[in-house]
A and B are shown apart, each in its own frame.
Chain A
Amino acid sequence: MADAAHAVAAGTPPELQHHFTDLEHQREASTLGMWVFLVTEVLFFGGMFTAYVVYRSTYRPAFEGASNLLDIRLGTINTAVLLLSSLTMALAVRAAAQGRKKLIVFFLSSTILLGAVFLGIKVVEYSQKFAHHEVPGPHFVVPEGLPRQAEMFFSLYFCMTGLHALHMIIGVGLLSWLIARARRGDFSVRYSTPVDLVGLYWHFVDIVWIFLFPLLYLLGRHTL
């Protein structure tokens, strides 16, 4: 306690943890740690992309036909919504670096709203799949004119978009936490690392969707 009191008296920023020499050192270490986490996330999603590559190359007609059953309009709208949410996230990080509290809260809230719109559209898409018996399992009905491996496509579709949606839900939770902290006045020109790191996470989830969209929604459109 005496040490802490001494440190504050000596002008050490309260955000600085004792094992870092200064805030810059702390920020760089935190950012690098977040990137290391994102590398593990690349491999986490990578396993699914690998499964996709293997099964798509094995059952090409089934995958192309089943892909065409996805709603390309909703998929494209969702891509735009997610890209816009990445922009608002980037602007939130920028506002945080400038220490502009109201702007941080505004852009973080916009990002949550757009994330919620994305998830809402996803719910509509999923419910259509349930209604059409296109969800793998006992109630799956092989779509007319398609090989039965169409079920494999939908298994991958639900696993990949489901895992992506789970990341979005976690992201919305993190953004809510950031808004509470921003309101409390935790972030300033000197210290905004949590906003930076959640920003990296959100953009990463956006990048995953950038690959999911053409691979799931667009692969068979030229056969129509």
Chain B
Amino acid sequence: MSETTHRQPSLGAYLGVFAALMALTGLTVFAAFQHLGVWNTPVALAIAVTKALLVALIFMHLRYSPKLTLLVVASSIVWLAFLIVITVSDYLTRAWLPVYPR
């Protein structure tokens, strides 16, 4: 157990991740000025998710964490998805139905 949990990324991994994070920041600023139609937001979010994963896996050592920790982290994504998806499924579908007479 202690063998796996004490493992840490190497110095090179930290510096590599930092370089990647800076490059992705440049990329997202560049992409924001392009005319991608409906794709501007998905591209920005995909880059943000990639950056967040890099930070979580390497800087926060998730890659070397026990499965229980991964389960807890995954639960945050599940609950956040509930929060956003269920709320949005109300707001974005209100226009689909005729307004009820008052």
Contact = CB atoms under 8 A, between A and B. Distances in A.
A17 interface: no
B100 interface: no
Interface residues of A, number: 49
Contacts of A93: 8
Interface in A135-158: none
Contacts of A32: 68-69, 72
A37 to B, nearest CB: 10
Tier of interface size on chain B: 35 or more
B80 A43 contact: yes
Contacts of B8: 93-94, 97
A207 interface: yes
B86 to A, nearest CB: 9
A44 to B, nearest CB: 11
Contacts of A53: 84, 87-88
Nearest to A89: B59
A203 interface: yes
Interface of A: 24, 27-28, 31-32, 35-36, 38-39, 42-43, 46-47, 49-50, 53-54, 57-58, 72, 76, 79-80, 83-84, 86-87, 89-91, 93-94, 97, 199-200, 203-204, 206-207, 210-211, 213-215, 218-219, 221-222, 224
